[in-house]
Structure 1
Amino acid sequence: MSQQEGLLAHKIAIQSTKNMLKQLSGIDVLKIYENNENQELNELYLAYCSRYDYNEEPYSQISYDCSEEEIYQWLIDIMELKQEEYFFLCNQLWCKIKMIDLYDAISSLWKSHKNTKGFLLAEIDLSRIIDCGSDSRDEYNYLIDIWERQK
């Protein structure tokens, strides 16, 4: 890929992320991080991904058969989410968001990807990553993984 093609791909990714973020409700978008702007956040994410084990038990799970309301309340309670700032991974770009209406934000984040349900957040102090959705470890339940950063 030429330098010009790389720049164009990057601009398309940024615009795609902005378009996706505009469709989310219940949040304010404070910043989109480009070009490894937040190296510590990237390192945290790499540490989280490198430790991932498909045999690991999830932090919590809930049946696919539960109502959306039950799922949203489960996410809020288990992930200990509040109306505050988080880093949100959107289209492989980190975004700093503030949850304004917690229930609406969770509903919107949960449905933010067309083909799957779930989202990944990092605490502002980079103390933990909280990840939810479905994966190959369980065919019948949505899962939450909470990874605490080792200092």
Structure 2
Amino acid sequence: MSGKGAPELTVENSGGLRVAVIAAQWHTQVMDGLVDGAVRALRELGIEEPTLLRVPGSFELPVAAKVLAGRGYDAVVALGVIIRGGTPHFEYVSQGVTAGLTQVSVDTGVPVGFGVLTCDTEQQALDRAGLPGSAEDKGHEAVTAAVATAAVLRSAAEPRR
């Protein structure tokens, strides 16, 4: 299972952070689990009023993340699922989404939580969606990572000039 070796993150200094969650609409059951895990993590971190937006699919996540990062959010979390099929479509979409979200984070300095599942089967996605019986909760993990990074960046002192 891919979750082996994951760190136990302790998030401090997250009060007052503005966080947006963007979720794709494909694969409703998986996405509902990812969104529920993300919202639960935000509540646990004391972030009561996150922005939640839905976009058509995973390919639309980077542009939405870029716009929200430019609107003053401290962290953006992207949730989606891409399931391998019989064509190269999986590789193109997975690579585009991954590169796009990475570029948003690096270009804007806003942490982007990567909650995009890239799975061979629907069962693998269900196992990672945070649903009852799932082995992992990637929506929760993506929020925790993004908020932890935003909190660390906020606490870093500005260099003296």
Same fold? TM cut 0.5: no
Q: TM-score range by the shorter chain?
A: under 0.3
What's the TM-score once normalised by structure 1's chain length? 0.28
Which is richer in strand?
1
User: Which structure's relative contact order is higher, taking Cα pairs within 8 Å and 6+ residues apart?
Assistant: 2
Tell me the TM-score normalized by structure 2. 0.27
